Amino acid sequence: MPMIILDKLASKLDGSVRGKFMSFLQKLSQDDTTSGLHIEPMKNAVDPRVRTGRVDDFWRAVLFKITGDGEPHYLVHGVWPHDEAIAKAMKVTLTVNPTNGQAMVREAAQQIPIAKDTWGNAGQARADMSTDEGAGVASAPVVPELPSWLETRGYHTEGLMKVLGLPEDVATRAMAMTSDDALLNLAEQEQGWLAAALMELAVGTSLQVIVEKLDLDAAKPAANLSEDEQLIEALQTTAAKEKFTFIKNQAALKQVIEDGDFGQWRVFLHPEQRRYATQSYNGPFRLTGAAGTGKTVVLLHRTRMLSEGNAEARVVLTTFTRNLADSLAENLASLDPGITQCELGESGVVVAGVDALVARVLREAGTRMSSAVEEVLGHARTEVNTRTNKKVWSDAIDVAMAYLPEELANLAFFESEYATVVLPKRITTLEQYLRVRRPGRGVALSREKRKAVWDVIANYRAQARVLGTIDFPEAAAIAAVWLEERANRGEG
């Protein structure tokens, strides 16, 4: 049976085409000789592997047929109206980059003339591709009047080609750009790792860091393999998986295509996302990034990786609100319907908000949590269900106002100091607080200031003890200690 390899570009279809395309791919994956598919080679095409296939009377798919392992592989590049698909198929190519071994789908002679903008900048490249219609001769780039934006930042054409593996025409056009916006416009005309590399250049990332982030230093396909076998290997590198995905069965095919956006987040991962999702860590690892950078996608894929192939695995996926937890549970089921979502203590994946998760642990612990409370707060008790009002902090600060430095006399400082220093380090005495390191806190504390801060913390804890309350950071710390104690007792 043929193996289907889906190009990310092929997933960008509207609803009117999606069902027909799904049917086309299902038939192709079962038998590429099926009547009505019309998988046909193109005469005089630049790449002899290119084929077109009939999606319906109006739409045609552009594919590459690769022979490897005795079975045909079809890389489905995209779907276009009939005439546009034929024109694209005549000039599109699939190759292995000779520098970094990455697969590339590009259009032959993709030399885009560099057009000057109103201010004389060689920024906005024309979108009408390479050659003068009918002439067959690529237009020469216009030499920009302003200095190359990349060259002023230490980049050179040779480095772009030899270190990153940019094709000569891409490197030349990139070096001709005179602004970051122009370079980003150029990136929009490329795909996969080429587009990602250009975007990294636009924000000033060094060449070696780009290589590491995009995983462009992976081993190149073995020279003793046939060209088609080298292509198949190149399509399976980490960088390639951001653009290409191997469809293993009908269920996988349905999963990729059933959503309105074709579920791209479930299949096409940026190399940096894939690395964070799959690599091993010795202890905790913190991943930060602005909104929209894909942190949630990384978490979902890492959850699947940790639970995949291990029926006894127990994984917790958590967030700060119930709504977000519900969304994570839904997306995890969408990513992999085979993942078992379970309750705490069972094999599978627990998806819950942090607050709900802490409450579950404390309920399970019941009166047995006394030692965990003592470990965190310095005294034993079993009632930890009522939350401490913020006014308790304010009262403790007010009592100390006469000797507390002005820059420390605020609720935000004490809540943060307590949650990020005192509780994680399980500090219960002044002596411990005087010795503890406080990296990243931004407010230096002398010995005298630490004494003043600890007086407020001790007052806060004493008031909360009388009231029989704890705050949420304390509850989370107690739950963590109790889970450790349970594991040490061999209870899992």
% pLDDT > 70, the chain: 88
- Per the rule left: phi > 0, alpha: psi between -120 and 50, beta: everything else, 471 is beta
Kind of pairing between the strands at 386-387 and 469-470: parallel
Whether the pLDDT of residue 369 is over 50: the answer is yes
Tokens of 287: 């991943």
Q: What b/e readout covers 296-313, taking b as 16+ CB neighbours within 10 angstroms? A: ebbbbbbbbebbeeeeee
- pLDDT for res 462: 94
**CA distance linking residue 106 with residue 232, whole number of Å:** 17
- pLDDT for res 124: 38
Q: Residues 13, 15, 17, 18: is their CA dihedral positive or negative? A: positive
- DSSP letters along 299-368, please? HHHHHHHHHTT-TT-EEEEEESSHHHHHHHHHHHHHH-TTSPB--TTSSEEEEEEHHHHHHHHHHHHGGG
Say how many C-beta atoms besides its own lie within 10 A of residue 325's C-beta: 21
Say how many C-beta atoms besides its own lie within 10 A of residue 67's C-beta: 15
Q: Residues 375, 376, 379, 385: is their CA dihedral positive or negative? A: negative
Secondary structure (H, E, C), 430-473: HHHHHHCCCCCCCCCCCHHHHHHHHHHHHHHHHHHHHHCEECHH
User: Cα dihedral angle (44, 45, 46, 47), rounded to 10 degrees?
Assistant: -120
- In this structure, of 4-8, 22-26, 143-147, 180-184, the range with the lowest mean pLDDT score is 143-147
pLDDT in tens, 336-356: 888 899 988 889 999 998 988
Q: How confident is the model at residue 254 (pLDDT cuts 50, 70, 90)?
A: low
Whether the pLDDT of residue 112 is over 50: the answer is no
Instruction: Report whether 45 contacts 89 (CB < 8 A).
Output: yes
Q: Region 228-241: what's the mean pLDDT? A: 90
Q: How confident is the model at residue 46 (pLDDT cuts 50, 70, 90)?
A: very high
H or E element at residue 416? helix 411-417
- In this structure, of 56-70, 88-102, 138-152, the range with the lowest mean pLDDT score is 138-152
- Give the residue from 114, 110, 170 showing the smallest Cα distance to 146: 114
- Per the rule left: phi > 0, alpha: psi between -120 and 50, beta: everything else, 290 is beta
Say how many C-beta atoms besides its own lie within 10 A of residue 120's C-beta: 11
Whether the pLDDT of residue 65 is over 90: the answer is yes
* Tokens 């416009």, located at residue: 185
* Tokens 């060449």, located at residue: 207
Instruction: Report whether 465 contacts 379 (CB < 8 A).
Output: yes
Q: How confident is the model at residue 151 (pLDDT cuts 50, 70, 90)?
A: confident
**CA distance linking residue 366 with residue 369, whole number of Å:** 6
**CA distance linking residue 466 with residue 281, whole number of Å:** 42
Residues forming a β-bridge with 64: 50, 75
Q: How confident is the model at residue 14 (pLDDT cuts 50, 70, 90)?
A: confident
Q: Region 1-13: what's the mean pLDDT? A: 83
* Tokens 């579920």, located at residue: 263
Q: Region 131-144: what's the mean pLDDT? A: 43
**CA distance linking residue 195 with residue 179, whole number of Å:** 16
The pTM assigned to this predicted structure is 0.63
Tokens of 409: 């006399």
Task: Provide the CB-side half-sphere exposure for 238 (13 A, CA).
Answer: 19
DSSP state at residue 247:
E
Whether the pLDDT of residue 131 is over 80: the answer is no
- pLDDT for res 334: 78
Greatest distance between any 2 Cα atoms in the chain: 89
- In this structure, of 92-106, 130-144, 295-309, 445-459, the range with the lowest mean pLDDT score is 130-144
DSSP state at residue 114:
B
Taken in order of first residue, the domains within the chain and their CATH numbers are: 3-102+221-252 (3.30.2310.20), 110-217 (no CATH), 265-362 (no CATH), 366-488 (no CATH)
Give 117 or 188, the one with higher predicted confidence: 188
Q: How confident is the model at residue 255 (pLDDT cuts 50, 70, 90)?
A: low
- Give the residue from 253, 244, 300 showing the smallest Cα distance to 271: 244
- State whether residue 231 is helix, strand or coil: helix
